[in-house]
Structure formats: C-alpha cells, structure tokens
Amino acid sequence: KNQVEQSPQSLIILEGKNCTLQCNYTVSPFSNLRWYKQDTGRGPVSLTIMTFSENTKSNGRYTATLDADTKQSSLHITASQLSDSASYICVVSSNNRLAFGKGNQVVVIP
Amino acid sequence: DAGVIQSPRHEVTEMGQEVTLRCKPISGHNSLFWYRQTMMRGLELLIYFNNNVPIDDSGMPEDRFSAKMPNASFSTLKIQPSEPRDSAVYFCASSTTGGAMETQYFGPGTRLLVL
C-alpha cells in the first residue's frame, strides 16, 4: 500500500472556481511535507513545504494545510486559472527518505 | 542559470539495446537525484549522489540499471539491456546539499520508449 494517498485522482474545474486537493499519509516519523506542481511535459516544481509545527503555508493563490495528528494535508487553489492545469504531487519526507503520492490531475476549463 | 539540463529529451529504442541518459545539475549543487515516473507508479527515486558519491541506490530496480557521477557537473543513468517495461519519463534533480528541507530542482525529463 502506498504510504501517500492523494484524492481525487483527477478533477475538472471551471476557470475562476476554487478547488481543494487531499493528501493522506502513513509515513512515520514525519519530517516535512511538500507539494509540487508538474505541468505537462515538464519536471515538478516545488510550491510549498511544511514541517511538523506548521499548519498552513501560502504561495500566491495556493494554500497548503497540514494536520500532523491526523496525517492529512490539503492544497487549496483559489480563483483557478487555466495555467493551474497540472498534476499536483504530495511528497512526505521521513528520515531523509521521500514517499511520493501519485498526484492529483487538475484540468481548468474556460 | 540554465537549470538542470537533461539529454536526450526523447529516446525511442528497441528492446535489448543500451540506453544512456545524461544530466547536468545546477552549478554549485552538491546533490543529484535520478527519478523515474510512470502513470502506474508515479514518481520513484532511483538513486541519489552527494558530492559525486552514490548515497542511496535502493530504488534502482535491477542490475540492468547503473548510474555514475564522474564529476560535479555530469551524471549518467544507463539501462543495459533495455526492456519495454523501462518505458517511462526519467527525471534528474539537484539540490544544494540534499537535506530534507532543501528544494530539489528538476530537469525537463527524458521520455524513454522501449519497443
């Protein structure tokens, strides 16, 4: 079983709308959690990173939350734009090892 | 800075052939990572180097895969012999020292298709 589960696997949203992506993990001990954005045909780019003591972090219209007690994180996209169409990958670090989710595929339509 | 450079960007080869993927990390970065990405398995770490030394190769799938880093500005990932199940996108990434809090910068990837 994958140690990092993301949901939904894919979603389609209208331009201008908000959406929330979920990441649940079983990795232990926890070091940090990072969200990456991967545009089609490109490598992943880091959006946010959170440690155990942080429960929210923003990067422009992207806001990540972390609940280390329930081992859940979310990535909220506000006022989506066409350029937000991408795969969003949740990565959890533990003892200098990384566990990757399979990603949330987001498609923003006009 | 040009970022992480990978070549070739696309590779199509026949089963049994040798494949060599190349990576040039960001100048000044001491850690280099090789990843494989497929639809079924997502991103998987294959191996990473720190100061040109392989630190963790537990992700390398089998003996057909080998990686080298002869100097701080160049690394190769070789598959010999290649098989259709090796078809994937292979990413190289680099970071300053490889610490858990450090951002890894990914290259554009090499799309490999083994027929």
**Tell me: the pLDDT tens digits for A7-34?**
999 999 999 999 999 999 998 899 999 9
Q: Do A100 and B43 touch (CB under 8 A)?
A: yes
CB nearest B42 (choices: A32, A96, A101): A101
So what's the pLDDT on residue B98?
A: 77
Q: Which of B32, B23, B16 is nearest to B108 (CA)?
A: B23
So what's the pLDDT on residue B97?
A: 83
Average of pLDDT values for B18-24? 98
Q: Give the pair of three-digit tokens for residue A57.
A: 């972090």
So what's the pLDDT on residue A96?
A: 76
Reported confidence tier of residue A1, pLDDT bands at 50, 70, 90: low
Distance CA A63, CA A35 (A): 10
**Residue B40's closest chain A neighbor by CA?**
A102
CB nearest B108 (choices: A43, A89, A101): A43
Reported confidence tier of residue B1, pLDDT bands at 50, 70, 90: low
For residue range B69-115, list pLDDT tens digits in order.
Answer: 999 999 999 999 999 999 999 999 999 987 778 889 999 999 999 99
Average of pLDDT values for A68-78? 95
Q: Are A22 and A103 in contact (CB under 8 A)?
A: no
So what's the pLDDT on residue A74?
A: 98
* Cis before B84 (ω within 30): no
Residue B84 DSSP label? G
Distance CA A88, CA A39 (A): 9
Q: Are B45 and A89 in contact (CB under 8 A)?
A: no
How far is C-alpha A2 from the geometric centre of its chain's CA atoms?
A: 16
So what's the pLDDT on residue B35?
A: 96
Reported confidence tier of residue A44, pLDDT bands at 50, 70, 90: very high
**Residue A51's closest chain B neighbor by CA?**
B101
